Amino acid sequence: MRQFFPPAALRRTLLAAVCGLTLLQAHAAAPLSTIVTPGYARVMVGDFEVTPLSDGTADLPMVDLLQNDKAATQAALAKAHLGTPTTTSTNAFLVNTGKRLVLVDTGSGALFGPTLGKLVSNLKASGYQPEQVDDILITHFHPDHVGGLAANGQIVFPNAVVHADQRDADYWLDAANKAKAPKDFAGFFDGAEVSLRAYIKAGKFQPFDHNGEVVPGISSYSSYGHTAGHTSYVVESKGKKLVILGDLIHVGAVQFDKPSVTIAFDSDGKQAYAARTAVFGKIAKEDDLVAAAHLQFPGIGYIRANGKSWTWTPANYTVRP
């Protein structure tokens, strides 16, 4: 029986196809990559460069923590394609004014688990060093905002002065308040004390007791309720503003639609809700850019009024040379 051999051109085509299949099979078997890109971004506010920094994420039982009907919370999370527990970002913000380098909040340091405490490594990846930071503005003394100040009792930012509202300092650094607080919050007091101790001893802690400019170009804006001295900060340059909210909101999928929902971490839920309403109203009216500590990284966007609720629009991402 006569055998059929395809012409040379066809043989080459078939050979290429077979080789291609082999390559596809090899690529399909490649191991998963575990590399995570550096957790920082850039945005300009007038002449100021703002670098959102990721401290990492934590899985939190938001269905239990949010003071809301649990089924309603679960439904809102599911609508946003979020699971339970809910992966939650912790963000801080580095502001380069051209004259000073200012860090707003410092992440968790070693006060939480291994998925947090990434701020310093991401700060370095972004092109800066801890010793370059001139000032640190603290929104409040919860451990995921002050924990990065110290490591093993030592100052992490050796040339920085720490600023925070006097009310928060008076509350969280007072042993009598710790004794009266629920046991679940004892660690919060311990975290604040161990984080601030070295700065206070070195004369590098300067609390303030009124709204106004803390450092040139950045002003404090009282938003009490989440804690006794919870503070937002307004960054302003060339007529452009960025409002750094701190913990005025934790879960956008729930609290933008239903802003009355508070969280178990709020010291005064009613006051926290009132502060959220007041600050959001001012932001929406003035069309300011917003930065939030616990919205999905980088946590930068815009808030719009929508009746009695709010809508969140993430800022458009851009890469600048």
Q: Could you give the C-alpha distances from 12 to 8, 17, 20, in angstroms and in order?
A: 6, 9, 12
257 located within any domain = yes
Can you give the CATH number for the domain in which 253 is found?
3.60.15.10
7 located within any domain = no
Question: pLDDT (tens digit, 9 = 90+) per residue, 210-219?
Answer: 999 999 999 9
pLDDT value for 26: 55
Domain that holds residue 59: 43-314
Please state, in angstroms and rounded to a whole number, the distance separating the CA atoms of residues 273 and 291: 18
Residue 10's pLDDT band (cuts 50, 70, 90): very low
Percentage of the chain surpassing pLDDT 90?
A: 85
194 located within any domain = yes
11 located within any domain = no
202 located within any domain = yes
- Number of independent structural domains in the chain: 1
6 located within any domain = no
Question: pLDDT (tens digit, 9 = 90+) per residue, 259-278?
Answer: 999 999 999 999 999 999 99
Tell me: cis bond preceding 298? Omega within 30 of 0 counts: yes
Q: Which of 253, 294, 258, 247 is nearest to 83 (CA)?
A: 253
296 located within any domain = yes
pTM exceeding 0.85: yes
245 located within any domain = yes
